[in-house]
Structure 1
Amino acid sequence: MAVHLKPINEQVIVITGASSGIGLVTARMAAEQGARVVLAARDRDALGNVCEEIRRHGGTAVHAVADVADEEAMRRVADLAVQSFGGIDTWVNNAGVSIYGRLEEVSMEDHRRLFETNYWGVVIGSRLAAQHLRRSGGALINVGSVVSERAIPLQGAYSATKHAVKAFTDALRMELEADGAPISVTLIKPASIDTGFEEHARNYMDQEPTVPQPVYAPELVAQAILHAAQHPVRDLFVGGGGKGFQWGERYAPRVTDYMMERMLFRGQQYGPRQRDRDSLYEPYNNGHASSGRHGFVRHTSLYTSAELHPWTTAALVAGLGALAFAAYSGRMPGGGRRRQEARRRMRAAGLATADTEGMEIGHNAKPAGEAAHEGHVRFPQ
């Protein structure tokens, strides 16, 4: 069965982890474009503030307090969407948290809790979404990470959860396609993003955690999510830096190991440790789209733009190629004059014996129709 996705302004969109960061920015952007949004997170106050802001700007939003690892709570989120707006068109599994620390030092309790949120939260949300979307069609969008493709040190547990999310998403996509279900399944893989990611992460290190450069604005991820809500696409990287992770893993994994061992221990730490709170078990410091702590933040990505607009990019490349060829062949303004001037100079130097177009230029010039000898140059026509 073919997948047909509605324009954003006709959609009902469920977003988990909507009280901060990528989820918050996606909710705002979707509502601005006319979607009716259903927001889920653990922080009641932050959710209420986001919904109030959206309504104040003319949007439509409802919210439900829920832990994504609680299946009954997430079922109530789905029910709220149906009761409030009549159905679900797109479901975004975005909620997530991290742990900074060496794998041997992270407690088993924290390892398990991380999987409860990052992996089981996606499994629960995806299963609920599929139940609704099988009937009416739509998009299921899971937010993974560049570390879905390539694990990194000091965030090994987080990398493991995102690898699991990728495997689950890929397998679910195949099963739904085999059933002919009218559901698009997309995995979004952001690079380092300017959110409260580090502030929410549990930290086992002696220093404050940070994310490696380059760092991208959360709006880029929101744009990718809303693109996937309207266009069936398998997966999307956000930020060319993230694509580099995949290339390193695919073509030079041991070299990539070596580089990460020397760069990403120091590159994920800065300054003395300043806090002992995090969001692993309870919500903390929500309501913010970005952290403002990353210095230079990239608000554009040529790579992501090319992914979101492949035909436009192909046309642009083809156009630039045509311009380059035209310039080379003398078809650009002034090209003919330059070609004639070149011939004049070569004749003056005794390098050309022919004074008509279509003749080869060389020490032993021949008419253009004859076979050329090595070392001769022919001006393109």
Structure 2
Amino acid sequence: MNESLKPIDDQTIVITGASSGIGLTTARMAADRGARLVLAARSEDALRELTDEIEASGGEAAYVVADVRDRDDVRAIRETAIERFGGFDAWINGAAVSIYGRLSEVPVEDMRRQFDTNVWGLLYGSLEAAEHLRERGGAIVNIGSIVSDRSLLLQGSYAASKHAVKGFTDALRMELEDAGAPVSVTLIKPSSIDTPYPEHAENYMDEAATLPPPIYAPETVARAILHAATQGDREVTVGGGGKLVTALGHYAPGLLDRIMETVFDRQQRAGRPPRPGASALEESSGELAERGDYEGHVSETSLYTRLRQRRRTVAATLVGVAAGAAYAGYRTLRGGDEKRAGEQRETVERDRSRRPSVSRFGR
């Protein structure tokens, strides 16, 4: 365990996107485990209801009405955490919006607004969190997706935003490590999760949107997030189905392209007319909702993710040993190379000193 990370029941945790889906599920799970919470979302009604629910169960929570696209709103989240609880120990960037449709059919303006939430909102939150945690230690947990690694047909702009999230998260991790800051930075990459994600999406298809199976419960992601907040994971893919997709994309990208084109297009169409009403890109739904309306099988656990996180400590130790051995080998080889180079220089100089003097015009 990272020494700067506390048990959940001793943490104050900030969660953006706390009124729906993964953020809401994580907030409730963290409250059940004794964490103090700072909840952020756009809907004050939903936040007030969630805060009242947590406090009625004996927990502690504060909320901030915030649109993460506005950096001043994000700063207000940080300030509220400091004023109410004296600071925070983990910051979870969960706010995101989705769009379904082919890239040629989605207005660029909508893509830009999606990036404002998914990328810039997460960037603002990460920077505010890093500044606060740099001295005291803690965890930053960013919610990416399996599409951080492998783009998905009909969700191209969402995949592009999550690729950006991965790039930013990796860079931030390295900078904090290089500075010696006691801050863990984790990227959580969920597979398809049974949340209101498709119902809240901006949809440019001629059918209602749905998710390609296999589908996992939001609790699988919440458990991974809270594990990262106490153990400091680097990256965690939630769901073996998603891991299979990304592995296939790595080893056989052309084959996965064809599978995407023939199977995933159909699997993201629900076979009924699109839902009426505004999407989350336009406004918050205002309702607390963890789950969506997916009608198929939902896996309540992910064996792959549980095994992955249980083995993290052992794997990290083995990686550390291997890295140490590799570095030692490198130093040995480098020392041998330097020694040989020195001997070669000495030989050249000795040969030069033994050569007879030669005039420019011959002997």
| Shorter-chain TM-score above 0.5 | yes
Question: How much identity, in percent, do the aligned residues show?
Answer: 54
**Which residue in 1 is equivalent to 2:329?**
none
Which ranges in structure 2 are unaligned for 5 or more consecutive residues? 316-363
**Which residue in 2 is equivalent to 1:158?**
158
**Which residue in 1 is equivalent to 2:23?**
23
After TM superposition, list the pairs within 5 Å mapping 1:214-363 onto structure 2: 214-270=214-270, 271-284=272-285, 286-310=287-311
Higher helix share: 2
Contact 1:189 1:238 in 2 (8 A): yes
Post-superposition Cα deviations, 1:97-147, rounded to whole Å, max 9, x if no partner, equal 110001011111101000000000110000000000002000000000010
Contact 1:3 1:232 in 2 (8 A): no
Post-superposition Cα deviations, 1:194-239, rounded to whole Å, max 9, x if no partner, equal 1000111100011000000000000010000000000011010110
Partner SS, residue 245 of structure 1: helix
Q: Which runs of 4+ in 1 moved over 6 A?
A: 311-314
Contact 1:51 1:63 in 2 (8 A): yes
The one-letter code sitting in structure 2 at the alignment partner of 1:233 is: D
**Which residue in 1 is equivalent to 2:44?**
44
Partner SS, residue 299 of structure 2: coil
1:48 offset after TM fit, Å?
0.6
Structure with bigger gyration radius? 1
Partner SS, residue 264 of structure 1: helix
1:3 offset after TM fit, Å?
4.9
Which ranges in structure 1 are unaligned for 5 or more consecutive residues? 315-381
Post-superposition Cα deviations, 1:329-357, rounded to whole Å, max 9, x if no partner, equal xxxxxxxxxxxxxxxxxxxxxxxxxxxxx
Contact 2:166 2:187 in 1 (8 A): yes
1:274 offset after TM fit, Å?
3.1
After TM superposition, list the pairs within 5 Å mapping 1:105-184 onto structure 2: 105-184=105-184
Partner SS, residue 95 of structure 1: coil
* Number of corresponding residues: 313
**Which residue in 1 is equivalent to 2:213?**
213
Work out which structure has the larger RCO, using CA pairs closer than 8 Å and 6 or more positions apart in sequence: 2
Contact 2:46 2:286 in 1 (8 A): no
Change in Cα spacing, 1:313 to 1:172, as seen in structure 2 (3 Å) is closer
Contact 1:8 1:34 in 2 (8 A): yes
**Which residue in 1 is equivalent to 2:200?**
200
1:285 offset after TM fit, Å?
5.1
Partner SS, residue 208 of structure 1: coil
1:311 offset after TM fit, Å?
7.0
Change in Cα spacing, 1:313 to 1:295, as seen in structure 2 (3 Å) is farther
What's the C-alpha RMSD, in Å, of the aligned pairs? 1.4
Q: What is the CA–CA distance in structure 1 between the aligned matches of 2:287 and 2:295, rounded to whole Å?
A: 18
- Scaled by the length of structure 2, what TM-score is found? 0.84
Contact 2:191 2:239 in 1 (8 A): yes
Q: What is the CA–CA distance in structure 1 between the aligned matches of 2:312 and 2:285, rounded to whole Å?
A: 42
After TM superposition, list the pairs within 5 Å mapping 1:61-100 onto structure 2: 61-100=61-100
**Which residue in 2 is equivalent to 1:363?**
none
Q: What is the CA–CA distance in structure 1 between the aligned matches of 2:254 and 2:314, rounded to whole Å?
A: 33
Q: What is the CA–CA distance in structure 1 between the aligned matches of 2:282 and 2:125, rounded to whole Å?
A: 19
Partner SS, residue 285 of structure 2: coil
Contact 1:169 1:185 in 2 (8 A): yes
**Which residue in 1 is equivalent to 2:56?**
56
The one-letter code sitting in structure 1 at the alignment partner of 2:310 is: H
